[in-house]
Structure 1
């Protein structure tokens, strides 16, 4: 009908474009009406949004509707009112936005709703539709909506003292059909590639036998580390650009519990004494004390909790000096050295990496990105309206977070699941480590990347020249901070706006409230006197959330296959007791410690799946939430900054011995979706 009218009368003076959201069940068969209100209070006649011979309002689609009868509307387009009935087989409808093209004034106006539209309820949509609660023109509806969301987004405590999670996954938070199809298709293909090997003998006979598992030109290719995993230089490099680059610390004094002596390590110090090397800031340490007291799942033996010492040599490489597998000195807890028999030293490094793998998966990856952010995401839904500019700022970075956590816990972290079979600690040990890391996590110390790096004494490039995680990570963090501050300070340009924003203040209060009283009990959330008082405090908090969901997760996640995919390099699991002496070993001896073929193949498949990038790159948002001109400009500047940084990192990689691309903005997604 619209096309016919256009042929007869020419273009309508006003045309409306209606976009249905791209989520499960978003489309509707109901009748939908709209009217437009101008700035003088005049209203157009009601318009039925129905194109002849067209199935309107389908999921993820935009449909246009010319408005021929403007009635008394003479002024500027001010707001839009939309409502629907219950007609049709499927009447539910998720409206993303309405755009109004006013050809009288050559203007275009965007009215985002981004909600489910209830039948017979009139939804008034204002341009850009972004309000602090004290400025909300539909306050009662907003309050009722949040009350409903608090019933939908309830907490569940699945850990004794760990992060809170959502009790039941809301339907709105589920994966899209396309995302699930892509994920399951890749999983099926990977399982098919490994099926024939699962029917052969259980154990690997040699390293060459293990290497035969990899298939050329397939998803399960041989990781580059397969040809350098034994090298001390690579072992050191994993501390600064590996999957868990958050442990390396400047050592200024050898701990009493570490049985290292000058005589042990001086042959590797290029003519320096140990004391001289310490004074020159050339000694570094990693200490996995967190693992002390955790038991191995299968054997019931104590998990190793190693300490490792490293030296910055003249070539500016971090080289391992010594490894002690347990925390306290003892006759059966030797200090392993590079001068030990070849495979004895290699086995010590394997046990160290196995221990760090438990820390990586439990703390750095699952505990302090996935689960930490889940509780904060739930808190956001409970207290901050979808109309709030801060909800709109955070929403792209929470995409699929609850869905992947729900699926991960169901498939991977259950008795008999992948963690139980592919990780030395099993699920009980992992839960204990998650609780420890959560209790120790601080917003300002650990959530702000430059602060975290400074806390370990390795922020200064003159002390640790080669540290790709620090260098690329800080640059990306500063890009995120600039964008977030730009948006936040625009909406909070007056201290009164902060003081009167009761949604924001209630959100912060629940973040810090003790768990025993229904809060998340997070430490060091920015603020003063139990409240946010400045825009900088709000922006710093939001920066931590955006960066953790993007940068933090990317650094811990996307090179998992490269690290774990060749099992001896970074073994998620080793079987048998750790060495208690330095007797000479051979290749056959270390093969006995590796997981069997089925477990190995499962580790390869799962870490490949976990390395899959499921959503768009940072700044390229799947859904646009903020439409005001300032926020649009801020997002454009953000994307420009990210493109520039991407080029800088590509230039750095040309000079690096081993490429570190995991914090290139092209690689980093917006959210934790895998």
Structure 2
């Protein structure tokens, strides 16, 4: 008789324990152990957080252990069990780690030892059969769906309840999300109640009535400085959407700015000279041109498609020097200047900020982080078995993403959803905008170093999104290179991995099938190509989302700074704007309250967060890879310390890309 000592770990999250019957058996190269019940003394032992040890007898030494077999059968009612892992100590004293990290219910599962294996590493038919069976089962459950033409594909689930248990929020996360939503609507009601005797705002100071309990120091700073030109320009670099502005190489033909117009801003210099010196920048919202505006409760909303010219002055401030609110020049589309009447210039800047809000929320945030990440997640689950090293690398960066996106489609997109209740683009405008912007995506635009290079912003000082983002990108890239190099000894091994090649093909040719000529790879020929793509995936799912999401409330809680919609059309002449015009253009009371409530809900501190590099679930068991993960964490900690030191000297701290504020995955 041979005895194997087995340690079974149950998760610590709510309802992780079970009353189900659970049986365990070891399967090895020379046979099987006895099948034992994991119920000591006829009691259900697998409680939340339990670490239970068992002796599993075998009539003989079964040799190398291939699988831990777990059978879960319901006791009375359906009862899921969240198994973290199983440790097996052999008679020779060797300890083997079998990761699980799955919800189990009325099923039989074979766990493999934690060493990552490519297809070519598995020589035995039993392992090849196991890999294939796992992938076939996942293909049945995880299916692509077309949300709309010319859109990234999404998960085939109409509600979060249809998602497999392993892809859902934890119970704690689900309860928090629901209770937070309730708090949002209570806060929304109270804010509206304080203003119930008003039909509309009469001055921008009236927004204080719904701003009085705001605790965000950044939001208060925005409120105090939002009218100032330097702060308007600063937001293009370090606000919610630091990815639109670019260096201006020449003035667009549809933006007839002259030297006489900008002389007061440039002093003795000329526009052509400042362009040559690299001091002129541009933000062009042409993607909004032709988008049909929303109608909210019977009230027509309005959109613009501004072009904004900015000048990097001697104090290294990005200053707006000319704004045109429509794409086609003409007598009823004047170019607004800082020298114009104060209210003319203020309203022109508000229109730019409102356009920014539409593009930021719908394109930079929703499309280019949430929806792209969903494609990465689905392809990874469908095409890579859980023993594959790239699956182990990417799975922490897919946590909760499919549920938050499914909830988003259910709660943002309906007729009574937040999008239709507040945003100028509305649901139909969002779809049109996202379709055109999806088709315009390039691979280079998703890779931070190339994106900065293409926008001509590589050497711009005071651009903290760039500075911090490049550090994070570099750290992720180094980590990915170390992991990939451990498993792939040559470029040929990358080319010869059929599962890896099937993954990238499913991702680009199915998930992104409408995206043509983007430069996105459809296969990998070298380790360098693979490492770059994996870096982009991890960066998008973690740091890029943090930069786009975490500052929503900071920058948008003071509604005049970022109006979610405009209720009057853009001005067609100068010198006629009154404060009444401005207040009638800005969002009304209800819209303003929705804007504040939703941006708080979507950027608040989350429960059960896993920050970048916090790989709580040990999918990798090899000592060398675990050492690489620790090096990654230490590098991130160093980046965090340098950002903290930098921020101590800033009036407006940039903290969104500090590693302590970056989640591994998109969970909100």
Q: CA deviation at 1:203?
A: 1.4
Which runs of structure 2 are paired with 1:381-530 in the superposition (5 Å)?
Answer: 381-443=381-443, 445-460=444-459, 464-513=460-509, 519=513, 521=515, 524=518, 527=521
Contact in 2 for aligned 1:532/1:538 (Cα 8 Å)? yes
Which runs of structure 2 are paired with 1:133-148 in the superposition (5 Å)?
Answer: 133-136=119-122, 137-148=126-137
Contact in 2 for aligned 1:214/1:221 (Cα 8 Å)? no
Residue 51 (structure 1) aligns with: 40
C-alpha distance in 2 between matches for 1:281 and 1:264? 19
C-alpha distance in 2 between matches for 1:497 and 1:95? 33
Contact in 2 for aligned 1:37/1:78 (Cα 8 Å)? yes
Q: CA deviation at 1:36?
A: 4.6
> What does the per-residue CA deviation read over 1:380-407, in whole Å, with 9 as the maximum and x for residues that have no partner?
2221112211111111111111101111
Residue 112 (structure 1) aligns with: 99
Correspondence 1:283 to 2:276: no
2:180 to 175, 183, 186: 186
Deviates more, 1:422-431 or 1:407-416: 407-416
1:577 to 551, 569, 580: 569
Correspondence 1:29 to 2:19: yes
Contact in 1 for aligned 2:21/2:72 (Cα 8 Å)? yes
Q: CA deviation at 1:92?
A: 5.1
Which runs of structure 2 are paired with 1:146-545 in the superposition (5 Å)?
Answer: 146-168=135-157, 169-172=162-165, 173-199=167-193, 200=196, 201-216=198-213, 223-298=220-295, 303-443=303-443, 445-460=444-459, 464-513=460-509, 519=513, 521=515, 524=518, 527=521, 531-545=523-537
Contact in 2 for aligned 1:322/1:338 (Cα 8 Å)? yes
Residue 579 (structure 2) aligns with: 587
Contact in 2 for aligned 1:133/1:503 (Cα 8 Å)? yes
SS at match of 2:40: coil
Give the root-mean-square deviation of aligned CA atoms.
2.7
Compared CA separation, residues 218 and 656, structure 1 to 2 (3 A): closer
C-alpha distance in 1 between matches for 2:507 and 2:255? 38
Compared CA separation, residues 16 and 636, structure 1 to 2 (3 A): same
SS at match of 2:9: strand
SS at match of 2:485: helix
Contact in 1 for aligned 2:473/2:539 (Cα 8 Å)? yes
C-alpha distance in 1 between matches for 2:628 and 2:366? 31
Compared CA separation, residues 184 and 218, structure 1 to 2 (3 A): farther
Q: CA deviation at 1:368?
A: 0.8
Which runs of structure 2 are paired with 1:550-561 in the superposition (5 Å)?
Answer: 550-561=542-553
Q: CA deviation at 1:306?
A: 0.7
Contact in 1 for aligned 2:240/2:548 (Cα 8 Å)? yes
1:562 to 554, 562, 571: 554
Correspondence 1:82 to 2:69: yes
Contact in 2 for aligned 1:258/1:307 (Cα 8 Å)? yes
Residue 623 (structure 1) aligns with: 617
Residue 65 (structure 1) aligns with: 53
* Structure 1 gap segments, 5+ residues each: 1-11
Contact in 1 for aligned 2:4/2:57 (Cα 8 Å)? no
C-alpha distance in 2 between matches for 1:337 and 1:239? 18
C-alpha distance in 1 between matches for 2:105 and 2:213? 54
C-alpha distance in 2 between matches for 1:540 and 1:566? 39
SS at match of 2:287: helix
Residue 645 (structure 2) aligns with: 651
TM-score normalised per structure 1: 0.90
C-alpha distance in 1 between matches for 2:181 and 2:103? 33
Residue 635 (structure 1) aligns with: 629
SS at match of 2:367: helix
Compared CA separation, residues 14 and 348, structure 1 to 2 (3 A): same
C-alpha distance in 2 between matches for 1:337 and 1:122? 68
1:604 to 596, 599, 603: 596
C-alpha distance in 1 between matches for 2:178 and 2:257? 49
C-alpha distance in 2 between matches for 1:151 and 1:525? 30
C-alpha distance in 2 between matches for 1:584 and 1:296? 24
Compared CA separation, residues 591 and 498, structure 1 to 2 (3 A): same
TM-score normalised per structure 2: 0.91
Contact in 2 for aligned 1:396/1:670 (Cα 8 Å)? yes
> What does the per-residue CA deviation read over 1:497-546, in whole Å, with 9 as the maximum and x for residues that have no partner?
3233222111222233267xx9464655665xx53121221111111111
> What does the per-residue CA deviation read over 1:571-622, in whole Å, with 9 as the maximum and x for residues that have no partner?
1111111111112434333111122212111110100011024322111134
Residue 130 (structure 1) aligns with: 116
Q: CA deviation at 1:454?
A: 0.5
Structure number with greater CO (CA < 8 Å, separation at least 6) is 2
How many residue pairs match? The answer is: 650
